[in-house]
Amino acid sequence: MSEPQFAVGDRVRVAAAPPYLKTAEPMPMLRPPDLIALGEEGVVVERKPGGYLGVRFERGAFLIDGQYLERVEAQSPSET
């Protein structure tokens, strides 16, 4: 099974809790994983080598391995 491909601007959801979070800053810091909730949605802001993605959530931007994320399908105007 291949890893899902994400593009900058994709909406994603946390599908599994990572063991820790790394901030997406010039000087990254490790943070506890409870800063984002399982199921929380964010937007991909950058792609990094090794399958890591910079994702902006309500509480900040974090580098997360793509294996912990799933793409959120866009809703059509009739579903809103």
pTM: 0.83
User: What is Dmax (Cα atoms) for the chain?
Assistant: 43
CATH number of the domain where residue 44 is located: 2.30.30
The verdict on residue 5 lying in a domain is no
Count of the separate structural domains present in the chain: 1
Q: Indicate if the pLDDT at residue 3 is higher than 80.
A: no
The verdict on residue 62 lying in a domain is yes
Segments forming the whole domain that contains residue 22: 11-73
The verdict on residue 3 lying in a domain is no
Residue 75 burial by Cβ neighbours in a 10 Å radius (0-12, 13-18, 19+): exposed
Q: What is the pLDDT of residues 19-63, one digit of tens each?
A: 999 999 989 899 999 999 999 999 999 999 988 999 999 999 999
Q: Where are the beta strands (DSSP E) in 8-74?
A: 11-14, 21-23, 30-31, 41-47, 52-57, 60-65, 69-71
